[in-house]
Amino acid sequence: MDHRIQEMENYATFHHIPIMEPDGITFLLTYIREHQIKNILEIGTAIGYSAIRMCLLNEEITVTTIERDPIRYQEAIKNIKLFQLENRITVLWEDAFDVKLENTYDLLFIDAAKSQYIKFFEKFEKNLTKNGVVISDNLNFHGLTKVDETTLSRNVRGIVRKLNLYIDYLKENKNYETTFYNIGDGIGVSVRKEIA
């Protein structure tokens, strides 16, 4: 593996930055390759790890990614320069809820604040192409979405409830066909249905 990728993984471990888990990123990259996805909108850049890995798949891929934390944003910019991917990765240093985007994307990848997933989905689905897909990471929240709630702290319980609401929201959303995968930290793939 490229030593620069390894260094980003080490940096994330050392600084407790939650980048995608190995199985999760492998799944995501395989999905992008198999479905020939080209334009990606990512919510939650952190240090640019997943954005860089997605772009390295193929030269036609472009990523727009949003990060609100200034230190992570700066680190992402530094890493993207290191890979000379400035022309294909655009990082927006903003809260995702303040961003206004007109472009459309083949893939919306949601990997940010877990309590806001429904809002991210509803804000950005208008930016999906006709056959677009939404991939959501962290749906298992380290297995916590499946445990007895009473064993959890109040704060964690709040996040778990919101994630479970999001899972129900995806299941009930008639405009999308969602498949859930027990891979990495739990991934949902929601494919927009053809409108007759």
For binding to ligand SAM (CB under 6 A), which residues are involved?
A: 18-20, 44, 46, 49-50, 66-69, 72, 95-97, 111-113
Residue 43 Cβ vs ligand SAM, minimum distance, rounded to whole Å: 6
In whole angstroms, the minimum distance from the beta carbon of 109 to ligand SAM comes to 7
Distance CA 109, CA 103 (A): 15
Q: Where are the alpha helices (DSSP H) in 64-194?
A: 70-82, 117-124, 154-172
User: Residues 32, 61: contact at Cβ < 8 Å?
Assistant: yes
Could you tell me which of 74, 35, 23, 29 has the C-alpha nearest to residue 51? Answer: 29
Task: For ligand SAM, give the closer residue by CB, 78 or 193.
Answer: 78
Q: What is the distance in angstroms between the CA of the first residue and the CA of the last residue of the chain?
A: 45
> Which residue carries 């893939």 as its tokens?
107
Q: Which is nearer to ligand SAM, 18 or 143 (CB)?
A: 18
Residue 194 near residue 186 (C-beta atoms within 8 A):
no
Q: 7 or 95, CB closer to ligand SAM? A: 95
| DSSP tag of 91 | E
Residue 192: CB minimum distance to ligand SAM, A: 22
Element (H, E) at 177: strand 176-181
Give the nearer residue to ligand SAM in terms of CB position, either 6 or 131: 6
Q: Which residue's C-beta sits nearest to ligand SAM?
A: 44
**Rounded Cα distance, 101 and 111, in Å:** 18
CB of 46 to ligand SAM, least distance (A): 4
- Residue 68 CB, nearest approach to ligand SAM (Å): 4
Nearer to ligand SAM by C-beta: 22 or 193? 22
Cα(191)–Cα(107) distance, rounded to whole angstroms? Answer: 9
Q: Name which of 16 and 130 has its Cβ closer to ligand SAM.
A: 16
CB of 49 to ligand SAM, least distance (A): 3
